Structures are given as C-alpha cells and as structure tokens.
Structure 1
Amino acid sequence: MKKKKKASTLVTLIIVIMVLSTVGAALISLTFSGYRARIGETNRLENLYGAESGLDLSYNIIANSIEKAIDQGEKAVKASGETNYDKCNDIFKKDVSDYLMVNLKNNIENRIWFDVKNNSSKDIKLDNDKGNFKVDSKVKAVDGSKVKVGAIEYYKQFDIKLTSTFQCNNKNGEGNKISRVIEARYTINIPDYLNIKYQTIYNKDYKNYKQVIAVDGDIDLSGKVKINGDIYAKGSSNNQYTGIKNKYNGGINLSPLAEVSVNKGNIITPRTIQINSNAQLIAEDIYGGNINFGKKCSSDNAAKNGEIKANSLCLRNDLAINSVGAIVNIKSFYGINDFYSLSKTNDGSNKETVVTRGNEDLSSSIIINENSATINISDEAYIWGAAFVNSYETGESVSVKGNYKAYSYPLPLTSGDAKFKYQDSMQLLYKIGDEEVTVFDKATYIKEYDDISKESNFSIDKPGTISLPVNNTYSIASYITKSTDEKGQLIKGTDLDTLINKQEEVTKKQEEYTEKVFGMGSYNWNESDDKTEVFANGEIKKSVSKGSTTDGLVDFSKITSEINQNSLTIKDKDGLEKEMWITLNKDEEKDVVIVGKDIDDSKYKDSKYIKINGDRINGLIVTAGDVIVTGEVNFTGSILAKGNLKVENDEKEKVFTSGGTYVDKILQYEKISKDIIEIPDTVTEPESIVSDRVDANKPYKIKDAIVKKLWKVKK
C-alpha cells in the first residue's frame, strides 16, 4: 500500500513539472516574439524618420539653391546696366529660372550647399552607422508658366517631386529588409526682383519733366542766372508778326550786364531773344523768332557788346546785330523761313505761301547794323531768306548796313537794262529789262557791283570778323565770310539746284521748330496736320494757358481755390528728404513773389502778392499772374505762368532746375487732376537701381517661394 502511494506521487510530480515546463516555454516564446515585434517596429519607425529627414534636408537645399539663384540674378541685373525696373525684373527672373532648371536636381541629389556670402560650396556628409537615406528628385517647369519678353524667355514656376528612401543597416544586420519610402511634392514660384530702397517708386509711373519755366508773357532776366532745363516764353505781343518796326518786341529779354547760362535744355520762344548791352547768353540749342543784339529801333539808345555762345540757333526770322562789338559763337545756324515756305491748296498741291514770300518780318537772314560785330559759325549754316531795307528786299542773306547802296547805281554790264524807282526816299533797282528783279537777280547784281567797285571809294563793307563754314553754307542770296587772307569776301549765294536739294532738310527743321515752338513740345499732332503750313503761318497750337482754340498746360478755369503752402516731403533718388512747395493761383491781378535770402521783402506785403520765402525752394508754381524772383534763390521744379516772369537785378544769383519726378509726385500726392495741370514730359527716367548685395532672406522671403503640395508614405 505504501509502494502504490509513492508511485502516484511521483507521477503527479512529473505531470506538474511537464505542465510548468510547457507553460514556461510558451511564456518564453511569447515574450521573445513580442520582443522581436517591438524591435521590428522600432526599425520601421527609425527608417520612416530617416526617410523624412531626407525630405527635410532636401527642402533646405532647395531654399539654399534659390538663394544662390537670387544672387546670380542680382549680379546679372547689375552687369546689364539696365535701369528700367520691368526690364531688370525680366533679367533677374530669367537668370533665377535658368539656374534652377540646370542645377536644382543635382544640388538635391548630391547634397550641395552654398555659402553665398563667401561664394563657396560644399557637399553635405552624413555619418550614420545604421544606414543613410537616398533622395530622388524630378524637377520640371509648370505647364503654361513660360514668359517671353522680347529676346528674354523664362519660367515663372517649377514643380518638384522628391522620393526619399531609408533602410536600416546596423552592425548586427537587424532590419536589413525593412525600408521606408516617403514622397513629397513642392511648387517653386520665381520671386520678383526687389530693390530695397526704391521698391515703391517702381510701382508707379513717375515722369521726368525738363520744363522749368514756361510763361505766356515775357521772361526778363537780370544779373547772374543759371537754368538747368527748358525755358519757354510765348511773348506778350500779338501772336502774329506785326511789321518790321516792332518785330523784335516780346519774348525773352537779357537786361544789360546779365549773365545767363542754360544747360540740359532748350531756350524756346516764337518771339525775340533780346541781348542788351554787355549781356551774355551761354546755351545749348535755341529756338526763336529772332535774336536781336542792342537797339530794337533806330531811336533807341546806342548799345555795345553782348555775346551768345550756343550749339545751334534755329530762327524763324533774323539774327540782328544792333550793338557795337556784339559777338556770336555758334556751331550751327538755321535761318529757315522763306524760299520755299509751303502750304497746301484745296486740291492737295503745294503753293508758295503769300504770308512769307517777300515779307520783311518773315524772311530769315543775318543783319549787321553796327561796326565791329564778330560772327563765327563753325559747322553749318542755312540762310533761307534775305535782308530788307524798310520794305525793299535786298539780295543779301548776310547783310551789312549801308551795302544797299549797290542797288542805287547802274552797273556797266547792265546799265542799259537796269531800271530804278524811288522807294522809301531811295532810288533802288526794281527791273532789268522788262522783268522785275528777284532776290536771285539782286544777289547777282550786288556781286557784280562788288567786283567792279573793289578799288573805288564806293566799295561795299565786308568785315573780316564774319566767318561762315566754307563748304557747309547754303544761302538763298549773297553773304559775307572771312577769306583765307583774313579779309572779308562776298559770296554770291548757293545755286538754285543745291537749294532745292537742301529744301528737304530745311523742311524737317521747320517741322522740328513747329513741334518745339508752336506745339510747345507736347501738342498732340494729328496725322492730317501740316506742320510746314503751321510754321509758315506762325500758328501757336499750345501755350501755358488753355484757351478756346488753343491747347494748354493749365486750365485756370478749373482751379477752385488758391493754394500756397509747403505740400509734403518727398525723398529724392539718393534717399534725401526734400520739402515740396505748391502754389495754385487763378487771379491774374496777383503776383507770385519768390523771396530768397538776404533780401528785404517789405514791399511785397500787399495782398496782391503771394509770397514764397526761402533760398532753396522745391515745388510747383502755377499762376495766372506774373512771377517775380528776388534775392538768392535755388529753385527746383516747374514754374507755369499765364503772365510774365521777371528776375530782379539785385546782384544775387538765381538758379532754376527742372524738377524731374518731383512735379509728377506733387500732382499725384495732392490729387490734382491732370485736367487742370498737364506738364509735358520729355524724358521718362526710373530711379537709380541699388545693386548692393543684401541678406537673401531680407527682404527676399525665400521659403515663401516654396509651396508644399503633397506628402505621403509610399512604403
């Protein structure tokens, strides 16, 4: 019985041990399986994060490549020398676009990083004993994003697809077959070229104005005056010429001893530029009705000296010397009225204009009425008219006082045919045979007289101080010029065939004159407008004040209230702030007075004066009355007056400079309608480009140019 109990206990023990062993083995197996699963999942997550880190690095490489491309684009703009913002923007975008198209894929896949500031690059190395990621990229331009501007082509957008793969590769070989793949997509928008300092200026179409003074009356200049820009005076006399006795009235007057220089602009008047005793004018190009030195008529006081230095004179009538010792030094002279001044008939054919043919105050010539005049024209001269003695047209395009006596004497060669009659108390040639003499006949006659009378007491005066270009002088009648022996000689004039051939060039000059003088440089010409006819008839198409039949810069009827104030502060192209003045006045009885420093302004306290005080004044002055400038003044902007402008003779220097973009800014900021004020623009100039390098993230927000579109786990 005892032996049976011992046996059953042993069996039970064995069974219990077997059960425990089985359970233990199961528990151990379960625990090991869970461990292996956790290790696998850890590797999967590690691979996922590894693949994602590849995308993060690639994203930063994309941003760095854009920074490099921007640097390339800025250098391309600077190298181009371009100043127009739109053109700079196209150059910049093309260079950025081209760089990304060529280099972006390589930079991503080879992990190239640029130090833009130091102009160097390096490859990014990642040491990781558990493995490394691999990034494949596809870069392509977005369909429809191509831009073509002239010869420049570029893309505005690029699509990028990145595929990043990571597989663990640790020392124990765990997870060798576990890889994760992530795909991401981005769009790159090519940024605009940014100019930090003047970015806002490029967003507006500012115009650069050259007109600094424009008046419908006269301009009277005294003392030392410097003008940088165009000046215009319509002239206070009637628009039509009114005869030889007052043809020099109105226009621009230089008072005795005045010193006037005009740079980077034209002097323009349909009337006369009057040079009084010892006055000096230095200019570039001059367009006028006449230039007169000294006396306007014989009853005036005697005048002396006076000087002009200029590139060119373009005159509708005369260059007249009525001052002893006057000096003219110019490169080109264009006396372009008369000969074939044409207008149109009803049937479209040409006819000689009655207004100008043989009219004493509309025939361009050089008239020397005083001794010791010096005239030097170096490059070319066109003299398309002849001088007059009262109403008698002579045969001289360059005439000297007293030489008209040649038309009073019968010559041996033509004594039997020449006929004379009394005109203006003088016996003057009027027929040869049965034909009335023309200006060409008179030119031949005075040449014949000169040849015969050289050794007599009746010879004509030929000053050796007149010099015209030997091979480039074209004259309808005779002229005097210096010979090789420094003596004066009389040239008969240019032959008719050459004059006819040169008429086309003169016609172009007449049209140019018409645009600048009668159209004030900004008249809106129609295709049907005949500019040569406008020139011939002296028809003013545009002036300062808008009239019922005349276009104008200012419509004074639309000015509702008087303004005279410091308007605003504007930055110039160098970033310096300048205070702008604006004056608007429609009362013709009120004068605007610019009062500079070191001057007593007590006499301008009356209510009829609108005062502007300051030695440096920037702004826009628009007035229906007169303008007076006194004291030392440096004015930058535009002065538009329906009346006259007078610079006082107070021994203080005056400087007037065109306002560039200031005038347009004032009009825009003050919200003054262009229906009220329209100043002609002659040059459109954007502000200067700033080419210095700046931090690419400021102002360029590079990462704003990268748009994330899609992110997904592929494996």
Structure 2
Amino acid sequence: MRIKRKRKGSSLIFVVIMFMFVIIVSSAMLSMVSSNYAGRVTESKRVKNLYGAESGLDIAYNVIAKTIDNANEYSYNKTEIFKDEVKNMNYTEFLNVKDENSDEKIKNKARLYALYADIDYLQLNEDSNKSKIEEDNKKIDQLINYVFRIYFKDYINANLYSNICPEGENSGKGKYALDGRKTSNDENNLQEVIYNNARISFKLESLDENSQLKWSEKDSKVISGDNLVTKYYFDYEDKIRKETYDLNFNYYEKITLPINLISNFKEQSNVGENEREIESVYTMIVPNYDEVAFKKSVSTNDIPGLTVGGTLSVNAADLDVYGDILVESNGSDVSTFENKYNSGIVINGDIMSNSLSTVNFNNNVYCRKTFNVQNNVIVNMNKDLYAQNIYVNTSKQNTGTYIGINNDDNSKVVLDNDLEMNAKNTVVNMKNFYGVNDKTIDNASGKDEKAKKSSSIIINNCDDNRNSFLTIENEAYINGVANIKTENGYQTGESVAVKGNYDAYSMPVENDDKFKNDAPLKVLDTDDINKKIDHFHKYWISNLDKGLDYGGVIFNSIKDNNKVKSIGDIVYGEKVDGVLKAQVQKANYIKGDAQVNGKINNLKKNYAINMYNLNIENKKDKNYVEDINDSTFEKIQNVIVTKENHDDVDTDGFKYKNEDYIIYSSVNSNKFKGVMVVNGDLTISTDYEIEGDLIVSGNLTVKDGAKVTLKYNKDYTKNIQNKNLTIFNQIFPNMGYGYSEESSGSDGFTTESNSTIFIKNNLWKINK
C-alpha cells in the first residue's frame, strides 16, 4: 500500500489565506462603517448649519460672543481702575475700607492694599523674604482674577439675558453694545440683530427660581494670609511697630455658565409650513484677567490728544478745555533761578480793566514747565495738575485772582519742583498737594542745580496787606526744601518757606552755631539739612511773638499727622480764638515710613508716565528721573512731519497748516469740527470752538477778549483718522499709522477679540 505523504507548510498556507480573507472582509466592513459615520457627521453638520441659520441660533451665538467681548473689555477697564485706586490709597483710606461689614468690592481694596503694603515691608530685607514676596505676588494675581471675575459676572448678569431676549421670552431680535466700556443705556451704542423670523427663548434649566442666570462654581479654595503688615513705624524707643491685616477670601478655579436656548420657527416644505423647535446648549467659561486679549485686523494708533509743543498763553481772554491737555513748553531745557518760570502755561487778565478772564480746565493738565497765573483771572480745574512748577505772580494792581483745583475730592497737584506765590489779592484752593522731588543735593551743586531739585512751597510776598491765601484742604506731602535766592543759592530747612522768616538762619540758637556770608544774607554755616531743620524750628517755636509770618498758607488737615507730611519745617496759619495766627511744625516725614515712601514713589511713577509720554491714552511705563534732559520727554515735534516735507491740507474734518496760523473774525468761521494740526504757532483772537483734536507744534496764544473752547472728541478723531489713513501716515510718519497685522488694545478700526474661546457648544438637537 502506497502511503501519501503530507507536504510540509500546507497548514500555514491555509491559515494565511484564511487570515487574508478575514482582513479583506473586515477592512471592507470598517470602510463601510467609517464612510457611513463620516456621512452622518457631515449630514448632521449640514443640518445643523441649515437649521442654525433658519433658527437664528447662529445669530444668538454671535450675540453671546459679543456680550462676552464687551464683558471682557468692561471688566478689564474696571479692574485697571480698581488697581489704580488701591495704589493711590493711603493708610487712613485703608482703615475705612477694611470693615468686615463692607461689601465684597470694598473688601477687595483692603485686601490688595494689604498685599502691596506687606511686600513693601518685606522688601526691607528682600533676600531673606524672597519666598514670602513670591507668595504675596501669587495671591495678588489670584485676587486680581477674583476682582476681574466679579465685574465680569456683573456685566453678564446685567446684559446677557436682555441682549438675547430684549423682548422677553420668544424674542424675535437681539442686541449688543458696540463698546463695552460705555453705558448700556446709550442708544447710540446699541446694535440690534434680527433672528430670521425665529423666536429665541431661554430654557428654564438655565435660570434659577428668580429667573436669574445660574452660575456653576467649582474647585473652591480659601486664599489666606495672616499678619500682613499694612503699616510699620518706629516708636520713641526706636522699636519697630507694626499694624497687620488677615487676608481671607474664597477663590474658585473654574466658573461657568450654562446657556440653554430654544428657537421656534416655521420651515417651508413641499407639504406646507412646518413648525420647528431647535435646542442648543452653550457653556460660557469665565476668563481670568490675564487671558483677555484683543486683536485688530486693521488698526490705527491714536494720534496725541490736545497738545501744545510750545507755551500756552491766555492774555485777557476766556478759555474752556474739555479733555486732557499736554503743554510741552519747547525751548531751553535748562532751569535756573532766573528763567525757571518763563515757559509753560501763562494765564494773564487785563490789568487795565476790572473784568476777570476765566479759564476752565475740565480734565487733566500736564505742563512740563511752569503753570504761571497772573492778574485778574479765574482758573478752575476739575481734575489733576501735573507740572514742574506753579508760579502765582500778581501785582498790586490785581483786583482779584482765583485758582481752584478742588472741584473733585480726588483732585491733586503733583509738582516736580516749587509752588511759589508772589501775590496780591489772590486766593488759591487745592484739594491735595504733592511736591515729589527729593531734598538730597550734592554740596558742590550750584544754585541753579538746587533750583531744579527743591520741591517746596515758597511765599515771596511779605506785605502785611497782601490779602492772599493758599489753602490745601486734604493731603499735603512735601518732599523737598526751599532755596533762598542768595549768591550761592542757600538751601533752607523749610518745606513751606515765607520770605521774612529767613531771619532765623542769621540768629544763634546754640552756643556753637557758626555763620557765613551768602550775599545779601548772613546764614547758618552748615551743609547738614537736619541741623537747619532743627535750627529753624527751635528759633521760631521760641519766638512766635517776634513776627513769624505764615504767608497765608493754611492746611485744613494739619492736625491729622497722616495727611500733612513734610521733609522740612512748615509754617502755616491756624485759627486761635477766631483769628488766624502763625504756627510752625517741625519736619515729620521719616525716610523709613513705608506708607509715605509708597505714596511718594507711586506719585513719582504717575508723574513720569503722564509727563514724559505724549498725550495718548495707552501710555508707556516710564521711570521717574530727578535730572531731566532733552531725551527724557517724548515730543510732538519728533513725530510730526517736518515743514519742508508736506504742504497744507484742508479736507472735510482735517486741517493741516505748514506754518504759523492766525484765526481772526474777518476771515474765519467760529467753529471747526475735526482734527487741526498746526506745524508752527497758532494765535486765536476771536470767539472760536474746536471740537475733535488740536495739535500745535509751537505756541498757542488766545488773546484780545476771545472766548475759545477746545473739546477733545476721541471717537470723532478716530473716525477722521480712519477716513484719511494715508494722509495721517504722512503727517505723523513716526507714529506707525496705517495697517498692521496685530495690535494690542481695543480701539482699532476693526476689532476682533478672543471671546469665542470662552464659549463652547455642548449640545444641539431638533426637538420637533
């Protein structure tokens, strides 16, 4: 019998063939399933897009996105204001807001103040406290997020429902604000949208029992910090004393808002009208402060606001200014005893007439040289004055001059140098005064160097019948001392100095006092400021009956040691039995006082930001410097076109003059609305109003009884820019005008934000 032998490998071949068969069949099935799934997804998206358009839900989505965009903008701006308010707080204000019964927004001011103050204290020994400082900074970031989210929720609670359903449930239209920073009651700021014949409602699941939005807060944790040092000082035994604050607030890592919308609409089909109901569920994610961003597809940088490159002179005329104004005072950058008051803003009335000229500044004034006020004028300022000096110089013929910088509780005067009065029949009222420049000067410095660095109040009229007063109602921080106009420029020990009181430096107080001649005076021979401070105070406190002159200077808060601080002695008037009598207070500003140091440093920072930059909204951080020079300041002449490179332009809403320009009644109308740029001097001698923006590279003079109004209108200015991008690029070649791919901020011609990343579509379905 023949035995059939089995061939080797046949089983393996069989297995391979079967396996290949299975793979082919499986691949075909998977391909069919995948194609089917892809088709279903594509069809689902097609149906969703189709019904989304018909149902108005895509429009409602855009309303939500725009509302988030506005909430971001609103919350960011409110948070920036909040931060600035806290930075400008003093310890007394902190005590007023730290009350546990106050609302959460007020408590947050106390919390942030405490963290800032604690860091100031820890920085006394920065190397040892590095980890604690980092911990405080982390808590500051969390607190800023917390504050931002409160404002964000406030905006959403106030606007989201009314934006989506302004007509109530089953609303046929929606709305949103064009600018989130403006009030929602401004009809000019609202944009309406139609839901394509659909009716949009909120599903009940999105609202609580009071028909309010239901927020979801997750991952709660307590942010705490015990014994934050809010104030420290040295007692009479030179021991450090501390006031502390305990930080505590709840922080949520994630806050969301479900938004469940239902759309009812009618669809046309082959068998007639069909009623449809579409439901869509969105989830809004509350962003963090540092997650908000804005991008511009077409952007224009802001041109500067109201700007005068030279001196602003008002001579026997009236002027009203609405909007911040910067007066650069081009010319000599060298300040000496003789010329330091010659340029800046000069306001003078008609000395031959009893009528008074009136100048009203309704916003901030930034004057890089001297704010100089003379005879027969009324000057009102509603906000802040930043200047190098104030000089009030009125003559015996002056019938009355008034300066009021006290219309707002927060109004302040911030000077880098002196406030000097040589005045007759003059009243000056200020809410807050800060002279920020330090007293420390090299002994070898000449008198002109000392003139630049003294930050003080000087009264140079010692006439008993001067009838002039300077009243500071609230805070006064004076960080420098006065200089006498002697041959070498004698530096005194006084922060408030009155001519006539200098006799103290010629009289011995201690047995070892030595004197020297500094024409025309004999003065105490020492370079030690502290010795001069002690000498002046000891002399006058013992000789008040010998004619100490308070110079008309009054501090309403002199009894509050936290509100009137000076690095030198001050003289002032105080009512005793109804009569103003001269008093002297010794220097009370200790260099180790963290509260005062923090206040002065913050004022210096704000001074640098406002004075060294151009007059634009988004100013760059600048470091304060005592020794300013030509490179310290950004100047309008450096960004405007040179005269030889552009001719005059006169189009609708934009006027550029390539030379000196005079506006007078015989050739000009009485109003211009738009942007006016004068590359030279501008003189106005007739009643005239400019609304929009005015930039003058040279001097601006208002005279001959003219009544002039300058109104800065940012929105109108922006519109003029956007209509004339090419021309503006030519006139301001060094400010980056024209088109750009990206730009930070929120003031562009066309703006897109990242608001869409904070809204997710979780569910979409057809109910019927």
TM-score, normalised with respect to structure 2: 0.55
Q: Choose the corresponding residue for 2:649, options 554, 558, 563.
A: 563
Q: Distance in 1 between matches of 2:717 and 2:334?
A: 32
Match of 1:443 in 2: 533
1:559-615 deviation per Cα after TM superposition (whole angstroms, max 9, x unaligned) = 5332124x1xxxxxxxxxxxx3x21233xxx222233xxx345xxxxxxxxxxx222
Q: Secondary structure at the match of 1:512?
A: helix
Q: Distance in 2 between matches of 1:216 and 1:205?
A: 30
Q: Secondary structure at the match of 1:502?
A: helix
CA shift, 1:658, in A, is 0.5
CA shift, 1:184, in A, is 11
Match of 1:227 in 2: 321
Alignment of 1:613-624 (within 5 A): 613-624=668-679
Q: Choose the corresponding residue for 2:482, options 340, 365, 387.
A: 387
Q: Structure 1: which 5+ runs fail to align?
A: 1-58, 105-148, 167-180, 191-202, 342-350, 431-435, 547-551, 568-579, 602-612, 688-708, 710-715
Q: Distance in 2 between matches of 1:662 and 1:492?
A: 53
Identity of aligned residues (%): 21
Is residue 363 of structure 2 the alignment partner of residue 291 of structure 1?
no
Look up the equivalent residue of 1:325 and give its one-letter code. N
CA shift, 1:254, in A, is 0.4
Alignment of 1:543-582 (within 5 A): 543-546=635-638, 552=639, 554-556=640-642, 560-565=646-651, 567=652, 580=653, 582=654
Is residue 422 of structure 2 the alignment partner of residue 334 of structure 1?
no
Is residue 685 of structure 2 the alignment partner of residue 662 of structure 1?
no
Q: Distance in 1 between matches of 2:167 and 2:626?
A: 47
Q: Secondary structure at the match of 2:597?
A: helix
CA spacing shift, 1:74–1:649, aligned 2, 3 Å: same
CA spacing shift, 1:97–1:184, aligned 2, 3 Å: closer
User: Could you tell me whether the CA contact under 8 Å between 1:208 and 1:683 is conserved in 2?
Assistant: no
Match of 2:701 in 1: 646
Q: Secondary structure at the match of 1:661?
A: helix
Q: Choose the corresponding residue for 2:379, options 275, 281, 289.
A: 281
User: Could you tell me whether the CA contact under 8 Å between 1:77 and 1:92 is conserved in 2?
Assistant: no
CA shift, 1:328, in A, is 1.1
Q: Choose the corresponding residue for 1:363, options 454, 461, 464.
A: 454
Q: Choose the corresponding residue for 1:542, options 630, 634, 640.
A: 634
CA shift, 1:668, in A, is 1.6
Q: Distance in 2 between matches of 1:101 and 1:459?
A: 79
CA spacing shift, 1:285–1:526, aligned 2, 3 Å: closer
CA spacing shift, 1:499–1:373, aligned 2, 3 Å: farther
Look up the equivalent residue of 1:282 and give its one-letter code. N
Q: Secondary structure at the match of 1:593?
A: strand
CA spacing shift, 1:545–1:409, aligned 2, 3 Å: same
CA shift, 1:306, in A, is 2.2
Match of 2:368 in 1: 270
Match of 1:584 in 2: 656
CA shift, 1:305, in A, is 4.0
1:78-114 deviation per Cα after TM superposition (whole angstroms, max 9, x unaligned) = 99997445899999999x999557499xxxxxxxxxx
1:224-257 deviation per Cα after TM superposition (whole angstroms, max 9, x unaligned) = 211111121111431232x111110111110224
CA shift, 1:327, in A, is 1.3
Match of 1:492 in 2: 586
CA spacing shift, 1:393–1:304, aligned 2, 3 Å: farther
Is residue 342 of structure 2 the alignment partner of residue 252 of structure 1?
no
Look up the equivalent residue of 1:277 and give its one-letter code. N
Match of 1:594 in 2: 663
User: Could you tell me whether the CA contact under 8 Å between 1:358 and 1:393 is conserved in 2?
Assistant: no
Q: Distance in 1 between matches of 2:258 and 2:162?
A: 14
Q: Secondary structure at the match of 2:451?
A: coil
Match of 1:631 in 2: 686
Match of 1:26 in 2: none
User: Could you tell me whether the CA contact under 8 Å between 2:643 and 2:679 is conserved in 1?
Assistant: no
User: Could you tell me whether the CA contact under 8 Å between 1:468 and 1:482 is conserved in 2?
Assistant: no
Match of 1:512 in 2: 606
Match of 2:246 in 1: none
CA spacing shift, 1:523–1:666, aligned 2, 3 Å: closer
Match of 2:557 in 1: 469
Q: Distance in 2 between matches of 1:404 and 1:270?
A: 30
CA shift, 1:451, in A, is 2.2
CA spacing shift, 1:91–1:474, aligned 2, 3 Å: farther
TM-score, normalised with respect to structure 1: 0.59
Match of 2:505 in 1: 407
Q: Distance in 1 between matches of 2:449 and 2:569?
A: 16
Q: Secondary structure at the match of 1:270?
A: strand
CA shift, 1:276, in A, is 0.7
CA shift, 1:314, in A, is 0.8
Match of 2:403 in 1: 308
Q: Distance in 1 between matches of 2:620 and 2:365?
A: 25
CA shift, 1:473, in A, is 0.6
Q: Distance in 2 between matches of 1:64 and 1:510?
A: 54
Look up the equivalent residue of 1:653 and give its one-letter code. K
CA spacing shift, 1:621–1:321, aligned 2, 3 Å: same
Look up the equivalent residue of 1:246 and give its one-letter code. N
CA spacing shift, 1:684–1:405, aligned 2, 3 Å: farther
CA spacing shift, 1:86–1:400, aligned 2, 3 Å: closer
User: Could you tell me whether the CA contact under 8 Å between 1:73 and 1:93 is conserved in 2?
Assistant: no
Higher Cα Rg, which structure: 1
CA shift, 1:459, in A, is 3.4
1:33-79 deviation per Cα after TM superposition (whole angstroms, max 9, x unaligned) = xxxxxxxxxxxxxxxxxxxxxxxxxx9xx869999999975475699
Q: Distance in 2 between matches of 1:81 and 1:238?
A: 55
User: Could you tell me whether the CA contact under 8 Å between 1:248 and 1:290 is conserved in 2?
Assistant: yes
Q: Distance in 2 between matches of 1:459 and 1:627?
A: 49
Q: Distance in 2 between matches of 1:86 and 1:448?
A: 60
Q: Secondary structure at the match of 1:444?
A: helix
CA spacing shift, 1:459–1:648, aligned 2, 3 Å: closer
Structure 1 window deviating more from structure 2 (625-634 vs 78-87): it is 78-87
Q: Distance in 2 between matches of 1:643 and 1:92?
A: 49
Q: Distance in 1 between matches of 2:520 and 2:428?
A: 33
Is residue 314 of structure 2 the alignment partner of residue 216 of structure 1?
no
Q: Secondary structure at the match of 1:496?
A: coil
Look up the equivalent residue of 1:249 and give its one-letter code. N
Q: Structure 2: which 5+ runs fail to align?
A: 1-50, 64-159, 169-173, 185-189, 206-253, 282-295, 350-355, 406-410, 738-742, 750-765
User: Could you tell me whether the CA contact under 8 Å between 2:343 and 2:369 is conserved in 1?
Assistant: yes
Q: Distance in 2 between matches of 1:533 and 1:525?
A: 17
Alignment of 1:163-174 (within 5 A): none
Match of 1:25 in 2: none
CA shift, 1:517, in A, is 0.9
Match of 1:320 in 2: 420
Match of 2:333 in 1: 239
Is residue 486 of structure 2 the alignment partner of residue 417 of structure 1?
no
Equivalenced residue count is 496
Q: Distance in 2 between matches of 1:340 and 1:615?
A: 52
CA spacing shift, 1:453–1:645, aligned 2, 3 Å: same
CA shift, 1:507, in A, is 1.3
CA spacing shift, 1:320–1:684, aligned 2, 3 Å: farther
Q: Secondary structure at the match of 2:360?
A: strand
CA spacing shift, 1:304–1:365, aligned 2, 3 Å: farther
User: Could you tell me whether the CA contact under 8 Å between 1:555 and 1:676 is conserved in 2?
Assistant: yes
CA shift, 1:317, in A, is 0.8
Alignment of 1:96-135 (within 5 A): 99=200, 102=203
Look up the equivalent residue of 2:532 and give its one-letter code. K
